[in-house]
Amino acid sequence: MERLQPPDLDNLTPEQEAVAQAIIAGPRKAVIGPMRIWLHRPDLGQHAQRLGQYCRFDSSLPPELSELAILVTARVWSSEFEWSAHKKIALDAGVSPAIIEAIRTHAEPPFENDTQRAIYDFARMLHTERKVSDAVYAAAVKELGSEGVVDLTGILGYYTLVSMTLNVFEVPGEGPPEMT
C-alpha cells in the first residue's frame, strides 16, 4: 500500500489538472508512477515531468545508453517500480539481456563496447561514491563528449529523484513501460 495516495484524477485542482494534461499530452500518455505522487505539488510535478521528458526522450544519449543509465540507477536505489518499468524499455532499445541480468544481480556486466562500459562505470561511481574519478570522467567524455556527460549526469539525477519518490512513498513494484 502506498504511503500517500495520489490525488483522484477525476477531482483535481486546476493546477493539478494542468500538470496531468501536460503529462497526458506528452510522450508518456498517462499519469503513473512518481507523476501521481508529484500531483500533490503541481509546481514540482510540472517541472519534474518536463525535466523527465528531456532526460528520457530528448537528451543527446540514444535510448540504449540512457536506459542502461536508468537501470543502473534503479538498481542502486532498489527501486522495483523503476526497474520493472525500464527493463522492457531497455530490452526494446537494444540493451542485451545479459547486461540487464548482471545489473539486476549486481554482477559485472558483459559489455559489448566501450561506450556501455563508460556509462556503467560513470553511473555506478557517481551513485556509490557521490563523485567520479578523473579516469572515469575522461572515459565518459571520450565516449560521449562533454555535452553527453552533462546529459548523462542529468539523467542520473532525474532518475534518482524518481527512485527516491517511488521508494519514499512505497509505490508498488510493477510499473508499466510508459511510467517515466
Other beta carbons within 10 angstroms of residue 146's beta carbon come to 9
pLDDT at 180: 42
pLDDT at 11: 93
Q: What distance in Å separates the CA atoms of residue 68 and residue 123, rounded to the nearest whole number? A: 9
pLDDT at 92: 96
pLDDT at 173: 63
What pTM, to 2 d.p., does this model score? Answer: 0.91
- Could you give the dihedral angle defined by the CA atoms of residues 180, 70, 165 and 24, in that order, rounded to the nearest 10 degrees? -10
pLDDT at 177: 41
Looking at 46-123, which runs of residues are DSSP E strands?
none
Q: What distance in Å separates the CA atoms of residue 111 and residue 57, rounded to the nearest whole number? A: 24
pLDDT at 29: 85
pLDDT at 32: 85
pLDDT at 1: 67
Supply 175's cell numbers.
Answer: 510499473
Q: Name the DSSP class of 5.
A: P
pLDDT in 10s for each residue of the chain, 180 residues: 678 988 998 999 999 999 999 999 888 888 888 999 999 999 999 999 999 999 999 999 999 999 999 999 999 999 999 999 999 999 999 999 999 999 999 999 999 999 999 999 999 999 999 999 999 999 999 999 999 999 999 999 999 999 999 999 998 765 444 434
